[in-house]
Amino acid sequence: MKLGLLLALLVTTAFALKAQEGELDLKGLLDTAEKWAQENLDEDVLAALPEVDRAQVEKFLREFQTQLQSEYVVDLAALNGAAKAVLPLLDAHEETKPYAAWLRSRLDYFEVAEEFRKTMPAPKLIPGELPKPTPNPSPDAERKSWQQKLSQRDWPKGAKELVPTLKPIFAKERVPPELIWVAEVESGFNPKARSPVGAAGLFQFMPATAERFGLRTSWLRDQRYQPEPSARAAAQYLKQLHKEFGDWRLALAAYNAGEGTVQKLLDRHKTRSFDGIATHLPAETQMFVPKVEATVLRREGVALAKLKAVRE
């Protein structure tokens, strides 16, 4: 695999790792890109593709890497067309269908970012100064946009079978069973979904986090792909995060961006609320939390703030 691709994927990989294991810190990552990628990168994502398709997928991943370095939601709009072009290439081969499932569950991030790009006024140009990025939408604007986006969406394939089975697992762990819909946002309820950097299953666990919550991740038996064990681990993780932050929005932000990232922003901005740090979170996290919130509202008819607190 080319070094250029390894460098391009590094920040994507680092983001996915730190989202579940710590704070997001890009400084110095490129200095160790080749060594890290040789040890960790899942090479099957491109190796299974024909050469002509591989070039297009590689270009998309490079663009993906560039945009992930930005905290600005509107920047994700630049990926909209490329993501839709890459999806059928991944869907066309049995080996890469798990990656297609991962990408499909994220297409509407790019679409919502495009809607914001069209409606939000561009910053005024000041002579002699570099153009400023379009500011991030407010948390309320995000929530409203996602509620509209999902207002007519049907249940994803597989949800009708899995939801009744998995809700009791969440309830047994004393986590609101409505939060089972995190799986729709993470994987579209496809247990086979896999990201190019190795997050896997309904709840997109990285190996270290999966093992932290008791899941086996060996090639002989990877429990991240098993709905019931992965649901139990996800419930335990969400329960821990809610205990730490005392709020489901913050817990979800930490699930996506990492506990360290969320805590540092809370300290820096002297707040204890999600809305107080929302526009400073990584762009994906700014989308993830209100999308989960809108999904729970659509599927269960209940607001995230109204979910019953965990009882010990």
Catalogue the active-site residues.
186
Beta carbons of 135 and 101 less than 8 angstroms apart:
no
Residue with tokens 């002989």: 220
DSSP string, the chain: --HHHHHHHHHHHHHHHHHHHS----TTGGGGHHHHHHHH--THHHHTS-HHHHHHHHHHHHHHHHHHT---GGGGGGGHHHHHHHHHHHHTSGGGHHHHHHHHTTHHHHHHHHHHHHHSPPPPP-TTSPPPPPPPPPHHHHHHHHHHHHTTPPPPTTHHHHHHHHHHHHHHTTS-GGGGGHHHHHHTT-TT-B-TTS-BTTTTB-HHHHHHTT--B-SS-BGGGSHHHHHHHHHHHHHHHHHHHSSHHHHHHHHHH-HHHHHHHHHHTT--SSTTTGGGS-HHHHHHHHHHHHHHHHHHS--GGGSPPP--
Cα Dmax for the chain: 61
Q: How many CB atoms lie within 10 A of CB 155?
A: 13
Among 6, 11, 4, 36, residue whose Cα is nearest residue 284: 11
Buried b (16+ CB within 10 A) or exposed e, 120-139: eeeeeeeeeeeeeebebbeb
